[in-house]
Amino acid sequence: MTETSTASGAAGTLPRQKTDSTAWLLITPGVIWMTLFLVAPILMILYVSFWTQTTFAINPTPTLESWRDFFTSQTYMNALWTTVRIWLIVLAATLLVGYPAALFIGIFVRSRILSISLLIVCVIPFWTSFLIRVLAWRPMLGREGAINILLQKFGITSAPIDALLFSELSVVIGMTQIYVVFMVGPIAFMLSRIDRNVIEAARDLGAGFGRIFTRIILPLSLPGVVVGAIFVSVMVLGEFATSAALSGRQVNLLGNIIVTQVGSLKWAFASVVGVVLTVIIGIVIAMLLRVVDLKREL
């Protein structure tokens, strides 16, 4: 009797121990990878940002000089505000362009196959490299570019518009085109999960499209908006290539500063900018996650 009960007791705990050890085994490669290549580098950046930088060398004597430089320099503060401004504009633009597209794909297209095909169409630009997608805007927006030629041909403008390329506008246009798909995807996914009967029920209860949109569709798609906004924000805040290629060095983002500083071996200063950027992105994600409880919604 005692024997059997011990045996059953052991049998009861064994599977549990096994699942525990299996769980640890499963997570180990990920933990090692993230520790070596994400956590350690970030801590290293934070550490290096307090090192002493001289023109040609860097040594680990702790100092706040790089930090002081960053926050007292007009150029760098301007870059900070430009980054925030471009981020907000691109976020709004991707939402403005992306939400209606997602609404069309997720709600108005009735065929599942067609809506998936349309999502794939959105991804087609990604079949070429990032740099080509960015550079492709030059022949579009340039002084002699496609848009200016068309505008003049149809007599809408008499002279080419110079502001199209190498300006903040061209950076916003380029970024919106590149990142809008990250907004469309999550929103279309959430919208396609809305039970059609729920929308029909709202119609049957006398609500027109406006009320159905604001009270039913929009709230139910909010998690998709938040996920899309996180994707776009993270990528835009860390951007440097689009502004480098399309702004003609007129738009300096924090990302561009990091590239320049690293290029001139100013590691400590580049680290300061990196830490500032990481903190900003962290704050943005935290704020966006406050909008909806993703754990509950997904």
Rounded to an integer, what is the distance from CA 53 to the centroid of its chain? 32
Nearest distance from C-beta of residue 24 to other proteins, angstroms: 33
Which of 68/215 has CB closer to other proteins? Answer: 215
| Secondary structure of 39-95 in HEC code, one letter for each residue | HHHHHHHHHHCCCEECCCCEECCCCCHHHHHHHHCHHHHHHHHHHHHHHHHHHHHHH
Shortest distance (Å) from residue 257 CB to other proteins: 43
CA 191 to chain centre: 20
Nearer to other proteins, 220 or 289 (CB): 220
d(CA 187, CA 197): 19
CA distance 92 to 82: 15
CB of 219 to other proteins, least distance (A): 5
C-beta of 191: minimal distance to other proteins in Å? 14
CB of 218 to other proteins, least distance (A): 10
Which residues of this chain interact with other proteins, rule CB under 8 A? 195, 197-198, 200-208, 211-212, 215-216, 219-220
Contact 230, 215 (CB under 8 A): no
Please say which residue, 171 or 191, places its beta carbon nearer to other proteins: 191
- Secondary structure of 169-218 in the HEC alphabet? HHHHHHHHHHHHHHHHHHHHHHHHCCCHHHHHHHHHCCCCHHHHHHHHHH
For other proteins, the closer of residues 116 and 194 by Cβ is 194
Nearer to other proteins, 140 or 207 (CB): 207
Residue 30 vs 206, nearer CB to other proteins: 206
Residue listed under structure tokens 């776009």: 232
- Cα separation, 134 vs 82, in Å, equals 19
Shortest Å, Cβ 202 to other proteins: 7
